[in-house]
Every structure is written in C-alpha cells, then in structure tokens.
Amino acid sequence: MTDSSLDLIKGTLDVLILKTLSHGPRHGYGVSRWIRETTDEAFQVDEGALYPALRRLQKRGYLDAEWGTTETGREAKFYHLTAEGEAELERGLSHWHRYVQAMGRVLGAPGAT
C-alpha cells in the first residue's frame, strides 16, 4: 500500500463491489482494477479481501457468476448483479450518502477542528 492509499471503512467494500458491477459484468481482477483506477489508487483491494466478499455477496443472492474468457484469453469467473443486488446497492448508496452528509455537518460545525 502506498502512502496515498486509504484504508477501507468496514462495510465499504460490499458497496464498492456492487457499484463496480452496476456498470456490467467483471471478473475479480477487473473489479479490483476498476476500484483502484476510479479512486486514483486511493483504494487498493487485495485478493484476501476481494474474493471472500464476492463469495459472500453471491451467497446472499446479490451476485451471479459464470465462467468466461478475459481480454487476455484466460478463463475467469465473471460476476454480475442480480435484481436483489441492484436493490442492495440502492440501500447501500442511500446509507453512504446520509453518512457523508452527517460527517460533513459534524466536521463543518463551529468549534470543530
């Protein structure tokens, strides 16, 4: 991890994965790469966190997966959102928007340092 990397807050990874897959199916490395590139490398998701999260989300019914071929010709499991996953993403986004607004109010409050 570089000095500019940020640690993920508990519960953030699931929302990041669901948001990533809302743009279309991706294999695990593609999910990790999209998050890293989209955040200008502020978030770097390692395999030890990513693949258990993908399995957990699949077990909860938020993702489906099927085997396919990557752009480099390798076989990989591609994940995509289910209808339940889309609904969970909406709930997660609503929660995080409320969280960010509340934090903004606290951090911008008079007397805050």
Instruction: Report domain 12-107's class.
Output: mainly alpha
User: What per-residue confidence (pLDDT) applies to 11?
Assistant: 75
CA angle, 26 then 94 then 49, to 5°: 40
User: What per-residue confidence (pLDDT) applies to 6?
Assistant: 57
As a dihedral over the C-alpha atoms of residue 62, residue 22, residue 100, residue 3, rounded to 10 degrees, the angle is: 100
CA angle, 7 then 52 then 85, to 5°: 90
pLDDT per residue rounded down to tens, the chain (113 residues) = 445 555 667 678 999 999 999 999 999 999 999 999 999 999 989 899 999 999 999 999 999 999 999 989 999 999 999 999 999 999 999 999 999 999 999 998 887 56
pLDDT tens per residue, range 5-31: 556 676 789 999 999 999 999 999 999
CA angle, 78 then 22 then 92, to 5°: 120
